Every structure is written in C-alpha cells, then in structure tokens.
Chains A and B, each alone.
Chain A
Amino acid sequence: MAERTIGLSVTRFRPGEDRQPVSQTFTIPYHDDWVVLDALQYIKDRHDGSLSFRWSCHMGVCGSCGMMVNGVPKLTCAAFLRDYFPNEVRVEPLANFPVIRDLVVDIDDFMHKLAEVKPYIIRDDLETAPVGFGHEFRQAPEEVDDYRQFSMCINCMLCYSACPVYGMEPRFLGPAAIALAHRYNMDSRDQGRNERMPVIGSSEGIWECTYIGECSVVCPKNVDPASAIQRTKLATTNDWFRSILMPWGKR
C-alpha cells in the first residue's frame, strides 16, 4: 500500500528576503496520531531547516506553539492531523501580532501588559509573615475555587489572536492580562485590588471589551477571560456607585 500523505501549506516570512508573507506547501507522510506540530518538525528535520516556529512541551501546557490552523487559533501540539485529513492544512502565524519570522510572532506587548496588571499577591505582611509548618495563609477549598479557573492561563496568546478588539486597538489590555488581574483580585490572600484598578479600569482596560466572547471560545484551558472581564466591569461599577453614594467608605 502506498504511504498516505497530507499537504501542509505554511506561511513563510523571511525578513530581509520576503517583502510580504508567502505560502509554501509541503507534502509529508500522514500519521493518524500526529499533531500539526509533529508535521512542522518533520518538515524542519527533513525538508527545510529554515522553517521557524516555537515549541517545547508537546502536552498543551507551556503555551509556546500557538498558530492559526485553517484560520483558527490553536495549540499546534493539540491539533491532530486526523481532524483535517485528507484535506490540506493551512498553518499561519497567530493573527493580531507582528510577525518576527515565519510562524514566530512578537509577544512583547503582552509581556509588558502582564507586568502592568501586577499579577502577584500584594499584602502588607508579605515580607514579614513567618514561613514553615503551620504558617500558611489559610484558604478554604471554596475560596480556591473563586480564582482557580483564572489561574489556569498558559499565556498562549490564542485569546489575543481571536479578539477583534485587540486586532483594532492594540492598546487594549486584552483577555489574558485581565483574566490574570482578576485571578489575583479574587484571591482571598490578596489586598492589591486597588493597586490594579488604575490599569484595569482605564479606557484601554476592561471598557474596550465589547463582549464578543471569542477569547473564551478559543481558550484551550477553559479560562473564560470574557467572564473575568464582565465580572471586573461589574465590580468596578459597584465601586463607582459606592464611591458616589458612600464617599466615606474605602472599598
């Protein structure tokens, strides 16, 4: 029996060589348990060592290998060829990001925004609290449930790639950064909400979001950034009313 094959059409962009991205098609052996990433590595190993992309864990947790697969943002380590076979698979760099080369995009913007939302526990006694047996900040399982979902973000950028608002307005803080801010706001150990609000509540923060919800659809880890944004909007509005109605109360 002849070996079955599958076509991959891959976007190439070589700065200094290509004026704009071009598509290149490779035909490779088809294996029903291969993912798109396996196919890309096969091409790099056998056909063209200059094909550039990022990957590491191959198990959907490091967040490196997000790309557009047939126009949809996906982790390529979790996108199986069998779901496309016998049709050709189109692989492109994540939408809404500047392309560095081929399938590699520039995520510096997110890295800056992540730092801006102060994604860490803020509390007065953080430096002085004793550590060791018996000194945990106690947190009931239900309190962990309040934020756990939002702590599952792997920073894979699929949500930014799916977000039409981010596509139009790059200053928008974006789904993952807001979800992570919300994650710490909802953590019973944290006291830093007021420090995060100037960034999250700014015009480029939550208010840019028009609740299209694509971010939550493409999220491979069910983080549901859209709900984080809506919940933050609600909480911020409550804050605002409270500050008007009860200006003497701080929170």
Chain B
Amino acid sequence: MDVAQHDLLIVGGGLAGIRAAIAAAQEGVSVGIISKVYPMRSHTVSAEGGAAAVVRADLGDSTDLHAFDTVKGSDFIADQDVVEYLVNEAPKEVIQMEHWGCPWSREPDGTVSVRAFGGMSINRTVFAADKTGFHMLHTIFQHSLRFDRIVRYDEHFVTKLLVDDGACRGVVAFDLRTGEFRAFSAKATILATGGCGRLWAFTTNGFINTGDGLALAYRAGAPISDMEFPQYHPTGLPGTGILITEAARGEGGYLLNKGGDRFLSQYVPTRMELGPRDIISRSMITEFEEGRGVPGRYGDYMLLDLRHLGEERINSKLPFVRELAENYVGIDPVREPIPVRPVVHYMMGGVRTNIDGATSLPGLYACGESAQVGLNGANRLGSNSLTECLVFGARTGKIAAQRARETPDGALHALEAQAADDDRATKKRFFEDDTGTERIGLVRGDLQQVMENYVGVFRTGEGLSAARQEIRQLQERFRRVRLDDKSSVFNTELMGALELENMLELAESVVVPALLREESRGSQARRDFPNRDDQRFLGHSLISRTPDGPRVEWQEAVITKWEPEERKY
C-alpha cells in the first residue's frame, strides 16, 4: 500500500474546503483535497439567498451592527470574539470572491448590490440572483484550478482519521472507483465536510449531507458541540423539502396562514417576514397546531405570497424560486402563492474549534458547517453561513498551513499499518459476514423518521428520551446489516453503510444534549422548559464519545461587548 503525502489535507471540497485550500496554497504548502463527490457537487451549490458582509457602509451599515445582529440571532451564546472577527473579515472575503469572478448582482453604477435578510437590521446580504451558493462554489472551484499545489482526490470516501502519538497525521480513504484503501499522510488535516441534515426525513439537504467529518472527529476524540441546535428553515416545499430561499421574503414576499393573514404580526411584529428563522418556524408550527395552517397531503403548510412583487422582479431577483416552484409543485409564483413548511436546513453544531479552526486534537482543524467555531450559537442568521465558509475557511487554511510548515515529516509505516487494518476490518464487517438481515435503506429511513417524530421544532424530555432509546435500537439493527453489493468498483452501498453508521452516531449526539439542555433557546424549544435559563445554559454543549454514549459538558460563551438581554423582535 503506497501512502499519499501532502503537507495539508482537506476533507471536503465545498466552499469552506476550497477556500482553505487556496489560502494554504498561497502559504506555499502542498494541499490534497479529498471529497466523496466532485467538488462542484458539494452542498454549497444549493445555497440560494446570499452572503452577509458590510460592503455598503455608505448605506449606513457597520460591522458593530452586523455583530450585534448575529449575537442576538444566536440567542446570546455566539462567541463574541469570533463574531467580531467574522464581521471584520467578511467585506474583504466577499470582495475577494468578486475579484475571482463571482457574478454578484450589481447596481447601475457597477457596485455590488445588497438585499434584506432575516434577523439582519439593514440590507447587507450580497447575492448572485438566487443561486448564490452555486455561483460561489463554481467560481472558487474554477479559481482553484490555477494552483498546481492543490491536488484533488475526487470521489474518495474517508473512513478514519490517522492518529499517531497524540496528533492527527492524516486520513484513511478509499477510492470509490477502485475500492482501494489508502493512507493519506499530512502534517495538518482540515475537516470541511458540511452538516448532517440528512438525519431527518424532511430536509433541504442533499443526499451527501451525512455528517461524515463530525463523526470522524468524534470517534478520534475531538469533541463536537451544540448538536442540539439544528436549524429549521421556515420555507421548504412540502414533500421534497426543496429550499425556497429566505430572499423571497427579503425581496418583500409575505407569509400567509389559511385565513390569508400575515400571522407573523402576532409573533415578530417589528420584523414580520424578516424575523429570524427559529422564531418564524415556531410561529408556523403554533399556527398549524391552532388550526390556521392549510391542510395538504404532506401535512399543513403556509402560503408564501410573491404575487405583489411582479413578474419582472421575480424573474430578475428570484428566477430559481420560480423554476423550483413550477417544476416541483406546479405553481407559478407570479400567479399563485407557494406552499411552504418548516424544514431542517442547517446544523449550528459541529466539531468544536477555537477561533483558528483548531480542534482539541493537535493537527486537526475544522471549518464551515462541519465546525462549531462559535459564530452561530443557538440560531444562525441566514446569509452568515456562506460568509463563515469564506472567513473561517481562509483563516483555518492559513493557520493549518503554518502548522504544517513547522512540523517535521513523520514516519509512515504506522500510518500504513492503520490503513491496512481499516481496509481489512471494513471488508470483514461488510463483505465477509453474510448473516445479517437488515437493509441500510430501511434502517436509514427509520432513523430519519425517529428524528422527525421527536427532534422537531418543539421537543419534550419524554420525546427525546424515546428518541434516544429508538436510536439505540437502530444502532443494534445496524450491526445486523447485510449488503447486496460486495464488489469493489463504485460500491455506493458500502459508502451508504459507512454514512449510515456516522448518522446513527450523530443522531445520539443530537438527542443527548437536547435532553440535558433544560431550557428553550434559539432553535431548541422545549415544551417542558419554555424559558431561557442563562444561569445554567449561557454557553455551548461539548459532546465527547464514551463507550456508554455521548458525555456532555458545558462551556461558557465568550462575551466581549454585548450582555444577554431578552430576545424580542
């Protein structure tokens, strides 16, 4: 078995991973990007609305205002030093993307346009119509092609982090096309693998969003954090969960209940449709429970009305919304309101890192959605995540590259041996043992249903306990999984089994802190603990893996300028 060697390895080829790769290449180190898909398939591609940055200070915006909005949006558990770093770097990163070719939407004078977004007190979201993530990803991926120092391993699946002598020394991965396992050695490794929205049945997330990087870190002993906070986006298409961007409301769309009322006046009167996602999603569920939703084949929904915006504005600012609504629910938003309901969209939680993207395991870093750097707290504001990928992708890439430069080459034979072991163990488990009876597709479907039933917009202690038990049973069932596919070439069933194993691990890491956090804050709404409790929970959950399941500790949020206050809009 030969070993692939790089100074720095990056797992994941979305916006955060490629931004990190470019920053590292500019530091002069050799970079390997390992991704289970071609980079342009990464889930960044599905982001629609935009990226927040103070690029129009001339319109009255300021970095302090962006920071405060973010802290308030987080329900006061964002780490404020991290927030301040983000808001200061964001304008540079967004303009850097412009220089690299991103087709931002523009004003007549050629400057970059900004639009309104939920929880942001002024227009500060830079956008490329309503395909912002798509354009950013293709722009940065294509830009990365000019760097000879960046080598890609497309369609490779990482099975394990290599830990030797207390530090991360690379990864084990197999090439999907050949099935060959291989050790990848590096002096620093960055996880940029995105979130795990596929834990739920009804999600905006792509099939690939199974949280692989989180599970890799968790197993290797680096704690994950704030997993009890999955974000529900208010406007997904019923059935498929396809995202209808918040920009639809940013551009002036209304949310109406069955009676045609803009019901948000009862919940977020000062912000209405531009309230934060957690509060709007809760308001919608409350309306459903009180009988004011529109009944449909996939449960109740609300109406997203864009008709008053007019065809011209819809075509210029929201063309993808129109395309998606027409294709997937047969509705032309120029003429009819779009049916929408809250849908799992984003993980505030991730691998716990410091402001440099460093995890507790030396040599291991994380950025983007797979990291919990402290930016988003209990509720992320829309359009902060693309910015997070850029700002912390760049910083983490640079800092990891510096570590790589300062670290001497290590011996390879121990890594080789670990990779060979992992190869053998994986094949033994999934190919040789033929006694199982469970199908991965069915176990996965049941897991998604458990999460849907018990870990929704509102939770109870009782429901979460039931969820934990059922997840444990599913983990048991997984041990009896049998694969139909025992071949080596492009074995997506084997990859699916390893992804499901990751998902089953992470599901428990969501439920346990949700159970222990006996309060309601941001996206965690406990019916049995309806109030926020700053005495006990003004901070992050820190989740470690033990043989008995997740162990949770609490870590105080960093407060620099803004003391917690009642969160009202």
Residues on A facing B (Cβ under 8 Å): 14-17, 33, 41, 44-46, 48-50, 52-64, 78, 100-102, 104, 107, 111, 114-115, 118-121, 126, 129, 131-133, 135-141, 143-144, 147-148, 151-155, 180, 184, 187, 189-190
CB contact under 8 A between A111 and B99, given known A46-B439, A58-B242, A61-B134 = no
Does any Cβ of A come within 8 Å of B54's Cβ? Answer: yes
Whether the Cβ atoms of B489 and A16 lie closer than 8 Å is yes
CB contact under 8 A between A120 and B100, given known A16-B489, A64-B37 = yes
Residues on B facing A (Cβ under 8 Å): 37-38, 40-43, 45-46, 54-57, 91-93, 95-96, 98-101, 103-112, 131, 134-135, 138, 142-143, 145-146, 154, 177, 206-208, 239-240, 242-243, 320, 323-324, 327-328, 439-442, 444-445, 483-485, 487, 489-493, 496
Specify which chain B residues have a CB less than 8 angstroms from the CB of A107 in the assembled complex. 38
Whether the Cβ atoms of B41 and A148 lie closer than 8 Å is no
3 closest A-B pairs (Cβ-Cβ)? A45-B441, A138-B110, A50-B485
CB contact under 8 A between A132 and B99, given known A57-B43, A120-B142 = no
CA distance A153 to B141 in the complex (A): 13
CA distance A152 to B103 in the complex (A): 10
Whether the Cβ atoms of B489 and A101 lie closer than 8 Å is yes
Whether the Cβ atoms of A140 and B208 lie closer than 8 Å is no
CA distance A102 to B37 in the complex (A): 17
Whether the Cβ atoms of A56 and B41 lie closer than 8 Å is yes
> Can you list 11 pairs linking A and B with CB atoms under 8 Å apart?
A17-B487, A49-B484, A49-B493, A54-B41, A55-B207, A61-B131, A100-B490, A136-B55, A138-B109, A138-B110, A151-B138
Specify which chain A residues have a CB less than 8 angstroms from the CB of B91 in the assembled complex. 131-133
CA distance A203 to B162 in the complex (A): 48
Residue from A49, A60, A64, A119 whose CB has the most chain B CB atoms within 10 Å: A49
Partner of A144, one of B106, B111, B491, B492: B106
Specify which chain B residues have a CB less than 8 angstroms from the CB of A148 in the assembled complex. 103
Whether the Cβ atoms of B103 and A151 lie closer than 8 Å is yes
CB contact under 8 A between A78 and B327, given known A133-B57, A144-B106 = yes
CA distance A147 to B490 in the complex (A): 37
Residue from A119, A155, A190 whose CB has the most chain B CB atoms within 10 Å: A119
CB contact under 8 A between A121 and B99, given known A49-B483, A58-B242 = yes
Whether the Cβ atoms of B327 and A136 lie closer than 8 Å is no
Whether the Cβ atoms of A62 and B485 lie closer than 8 Å is no
CB contact under 8 A between A132 and B177, given known A56-B206, A139-B106 = no
Partner of A180, one of B41, B142, B328: B142
Specify which chain B residues have a CB less than 8 angstroms from the CB of A17 in the assembled complex. 487
Partner of B110, one of A131, A135, A140: A140
CA distance A198 to B9 in the complex (A): 34
Specify which chain A residues have a CB less than 8 angstroms from the CB of B444 in the assembled complex. 45
Specify which chain A residues have a CB less than 8 angstroms from the CB of B493 in the assembled complex. 44, 49-50
CA distance A139 to B96 in the complex (A): 15
CA distance A78 to B138 in the complex (A): 21
Output the nearest chain B residue to A64 by Cβ-Cβ distance.
Answer: B41
Min CB distance B30 to A, Å, is: 18
Specify which chain B residues have a CB less than 8 angstroms from the CB of A104 in the assembled complex. 490
- Prevailing SS type, chain A contact patch: loop
Specify which chain B residues have a CB less than 8 angstroms from the CB of A33 in the assembled complex. 239-240, 328
* Extra inter-chain contacts (6) besides given A44-B492, A57-B41, CB under 8 Å: A44-B441, A56-B207, A58-B207, A120-B101, A139-B110, A140-B110
Whether the Cβ atoms of B138 and A120 lie closer than 8 Å is no
CA distance A189 to B104 in the complex (A): 13
CA distance A118 to B144 in the complex (A): 10
Whether the Cβ atoms of A133 and B484 lie closer than 8 Å is no
Whether the Cβ atoms of B489 and A63 lie closer than 8 Å is no
Specify which chain A residues have a CB less than 8 angstroms from the CB of B54 in the assembled complex. 133
CA distance A63 to B38 in the complex (A): 10
Residue from A53, A55, A61 whose CB has the most chain B CB atoms within 10 Å: A61
Whether the Cβ atoms of A57 and B57 lie closer than 8 Å is no
Whether the Cβ atoms of A120 and B103 lie closer than 8 Å is no
Specify which chain A residues have a CB less than 8 angstroms from the CB of B496 in the assembled complex. 49
Output the nearest chain B residue to A184 by Cβ-Cβ distance.
Answer: B101
Min CB distance B18 to A, Å, is: 12
Specify which chain A residues have a CB less than 8 angstroms from the CB of B492 in the assembled complex. 44, 52-54
Output the nearest chain B residue to A101 by Cβ-Cβ distance.
Answer: B490
CB contact under 8 A between A100 and B489, given known A151-B135, A151-B138 = yes
Specify which chain A residues have a CB less than 8 angstroms from the CB of B242 in the assembled complex. 58-59
Partner of A63, one of B40, B55, B145, B440: B40
Min CB distance B242 to A, Å, is: 5
CA distance A138 to B113 in the complex (A): 11
Partner of B243, one of A14, A59, A140: A59
Whether the Cβ atoms of A154 and B134 lie closer than 8 Å is yes
Specify which chain A residues have a CB less than 8 angstroms from the CB of B105 in the assembled complex. 141, 144
CA distance A2 to B43 in the complex (A): 39
Specify which chain B residues have a CB less than 8 angstroms from the CB of A119 in the assembled complex. 142, 145
CB contact under 8 A between A49 and B490, given known A114-B145, A138-B109 = no
CA distance A58 to B138 in the complex (A): 18
CB contact under 8 A between A58 and B109, given known A16-B489, A111-B38, A136-B95 = no
Whether the Cβ atoms of B484 and A115 lie closer than 8 Å is no
Whether the Cβ atoms of B145 and A120 lie closer than 8 Å is yes
Residue from B104, B135, B207, B208 whose CB has the most chain A CB atoms within 10 Å: B207
Specify which chain A residues have a CB less than 8 angstroms from the CB of B42 in the assembled complex. 62
Specify which chain B residues have a CB less than 8 angstroms from the CB of A16 in the assembled complex. 487, 489
CB contact under 8 A between A131 and B99, given known A46-B439, A59-B46 = yes
Specify which chain B residues have a CB less than 8 angstroms from the CB of A52 in the assembled complex. 485, 490-492
CA distance A57 to B46 in the complex (A): 7
Whether the Cβ atoms of A131 and B92 lie closer than 8 Å is yes
Specify which chain B residues have a CB less than 8 angstroms from the CB of A48 in the assembled complex. 484
Output the nearest chain B residue to A33 by Cβ-Cβ distance.
Answer: B239
Partner of B206, one of A62, A138, A147: A62
